[in-house]
Structure 1
Amino acid sequence: MRNFRDEFSDYLGDVIVEIQVGLGPAGELRYPAYPEMNNTWQFPGIGEFQCYDKYMLANLQACARQVGQVDWGKGGPHDAGHYKQFPYDTGFFHKDGSWNTPYGEFFLEWYSGNLLQHGERILSAAESIFRGTGAKLSGKVAGIHWHYGSSSHPAELTAGYYNTRMRDGYLPIACMFGRHGVTLNFTCFEMRDEEQCPFSARCSPEGLLRQVTLAARNANVPLAGENALMRFDEGAHNQVVKNSRLTCLQDNLADIYEPMCSFTFLRMSEQLFQSDNWHHFVQFVQQMAEGRSFHPWEETNYAIESQVHATQLLIHEAEAAMMFK
């Protein structure tokens, strides 16, 4: 980070206005609990705990001794299943599993606590290094929405987020970001619960996003967004526009908060520049920029067509560049 700061010092705060600090796999603050390489994990598997190298085991043993439970320090849960399994296939994650026992609580506190300590160290260093440069800092949190509807939230637990039906695992993360003035970057903004399959995975990207939004709000942390999947349809765009209002439901009342601080669209590709996709994208950008999702039809259509026409040269240049990439 110091080398980056020194090399690009003339651009920080002007050309480079934000630096996203890498915190783990895919830049996200999490354990590598669901690796897709070599077909190790497949959606919507629960993943596996990552606590079996000698350093993690030594730390676990020391913590177990401190609480007078030496046997708890011999390793991770023996009945937590495998990468591709569902929670009801395991002893640890099923509804009445050992995740909700004194041992389970000890282990999950330790496991998630180590992830928080890791994030604390990285963000503390980044804050110190980039202080005074004028560049904002941000960090990513993973949108693990599968099995969100289960009691134990197993896929979140193996990734290091101690979030269950009885415990908020995102508020401690948001508070940690807040202590260092770091924007929380989250995903799933284009996703709807009704689109998710299989139903047995009990996915809820909308419920997860509401929870993270509320955590960021309570921690007074700016929230930035991005789409999880590369989509160009109006349905996905409209969902992002809707979610950009950062609406939370509390006590059956809708509290509408300020817009999210930024949004990253994933991603530029040949598909984006196809006629219909580009038309939808122009409309989407205009709605996001104006901070609202409704205009009289004639006004909206005229503005969109004007922007589409004005960007035709850019489209042709991008298409030509991609042909020779």
Structure 2
Amino acid sequence: MKLKDLYPRVPLPQWVLEEMEKMPDLSYTDRYQRRNKEYISLGCDILPLLKGRSPIQAYSDFMRSFRDAFKDYLGAIVTEVQVGMGPGGELRYPSCPTEKLNKPGSSSELGEFQCYDKFMQASLNARARILGIQEWGDGGPAGTDGTRRNPEETNFFRADGGCWNTPYGRFFLEWYSGMLLLHGERLCAVAGAIFSGTGVTISGKVSGIHWHYYTCSHPSELTAGYYNTLLRDGYLPIAQMFSRHKAALCCSCFDLRDAERSNSQSSPEGTLRQLMAAAKICNLPLNGENSVTRLNDTSLSQVIRSSRLYSGGTSGASFSFNYVRMNKSLFEFHNWNRFTKFVRKMSDARTFLARLNFRRRHQRLSSMSVVWVVSRACAYT
């Protein structure tokens, strides 16, 4: 059984929000000085700014409290803890607010880089100084215009001559994505230590940001912190980071089809295939999720097709699927009948056996299951 978050929007504790009011730079900030309070800026991860504690210490205390409160259930009833690593529990920057990500038709903006609080600026400036290019450490990229939906209308993201593929662009994006990786590394390290010996698996979630996948610069991924472009695989370093800490990788988009995309640049299937490939290379246990609540045959069949793409790595890494965002309509007769058929197919090894035999005749079938999402676990956001 895996305990997970049913709701995409869970605010920070009130005492943290009060600290943010006193010190606004605890919040993620874009170039227009708009503050986002979904999550504490990772620029101050190890600074003692929360009543004498650092954010990493606060996250650690929360996880330790969870472990102690549920110690009798860990390893038996609770077998996995997904650690919240950013907005909506996902390892990413809030380049596009969570409420927009979950609103159909509004998630094709390029997004804004979240590097303008004083702590992120200090880190950027220090990195530039170390490399002897101090002028690159002032501010952030120009010509991004994140409210647009076409990267060709920007100076930074356009395919021909865009700044993303210049020495400055590579410097900035390596630093920006590197800070996100470091944040994930810190959380995986403390979670691994806290839950060591309890019998639970640690997991983290990567957001399925797919709406500019068929462009050269992949702008919406870049602003979210995934340095993934036509010229660079941005998901393999994330998978390698999870692998170092023996953590599972969770991703969504299993129910989405390219045929349903809102624009020709989007590819949820391409994004998912790339994430799966990175997980396979690193032999990561993979947890799939649906992105929206749709109980029609087309959506549920797409989940099965997507799930069949992952057969584990050379050591037989496991796969599971978490059906999230369930609501009362699930229990209507026609939906319940359709859903139970879906569960049976996902639980039946024969659904996956033919493909596995074709691709790797002698490989043991990975464990596949559907996990009912029933509660909230360790997602500190």
Q: Residue 5 of structure 1 corresponds to which residue in structure 2?
A: 67
Equivalent position to 2:147, from 83, 88, 93 = 83
Distance in 1 separating the partners of 2:344 and 2:306: 15
- Cα deviation, residue 38, structure 1: 9.1
Q: Residue 280 of structure 2 corresponds to which residue in structure 1?
A: 217
Classify the secondary structure of the residue corresponding to 1:165: coil
Change (3 A) 1:36 1:209: closer
Q: Highest relative contact order (Cα 8 Å, sep 6+), 1 or 2?
A: 2
Give the aligned residue type for 2:81.
I
Equivalent position to 2:237, from 163, 172, 185 = 172
| Cα deviations by residue, 1:44-86 (Å, 9 ceiling, x for unpaired) | 1011000000011111111111112111101110111123442
- Cα deviation, residue 269, structure 1: 1.1
Residue pair 1:29, 1:141 contacting (<8 A) in 2 also: yes
User: TM (normalized to structure 1)?
Assistant: 0.83
Residue pair 1:19, 1:135 contacting (<8 A) in 2 also: yes
Classify the secondary structure of the residue corresponding to 2:93: coil
Decide which structure has the larger Cα Rg and report it.
Answer: 1
Residue pair 1:246, 1:257 contacting (<8 A) in 2 also: no
Mapping for residues 174-193 of structure 1, pairs under 5 Å: 174-193=239-258
Classify the secondary structure of the residue corresponding to 1:244: helix
Q: Residue 205 of structure 1 corresponds to which residue in structure 2?
A: 268
Residue pair 2:92, 2:180 contacting (<8 A) in 1 also: yes
Equivalent position to 1:140, from 183, 187, 205 = 205
Aligned length: 286
Residue pair 1:151, 1:164 contacting (<8 A) in 2 also: yes
Residue pair 1:245, 1:260 contacting (<8 A) in 2 also: no
Equivalent position to 1:242, from 305, 310, 324 = 305
Structure with greater helix share of residues: 1
Distance in 2 separating the partners of 1:173 and 1:107: 18
Equivalent position to 2:169, from 98, 104, 110 = 104
Residue pair 1:246, 1:258 contacting (<8 A) in 2 also: no
Aligned-residue identity in percent: 53
Structure 2: runs of 5+ lacking an equivalent = 1-62, 353-381
Residue pair 1:247, 1:256 contacting (<8 A) in 2 also: no
Equivalent position to 1:261, from 319, 322, 333 = 319
Distance in 1 separating the partners of 2:78 and 2:89: 18
Change (3 A) 1:137 1:16: same
Distance in 2 separating the partners of 1:119 and 1:188: 21
Distance in 2 separating the partners of 1:181 and 1:136: 8
Change (3 A) 1:285 1:263: same
Structure 1: runs of 5+ lacking an equivalent = 249-254, 295-325
Distance in 2 separating the partners of 1:222 and 1:108: 28
Distance in 2 separating the partners of 1:5 and 1:256: 32
Task: Report which stretch shifted further, 163-172 or 78-87.
Answer: 78-87
Distance in 1 separating the partners of 2:99 and 2:259: 28
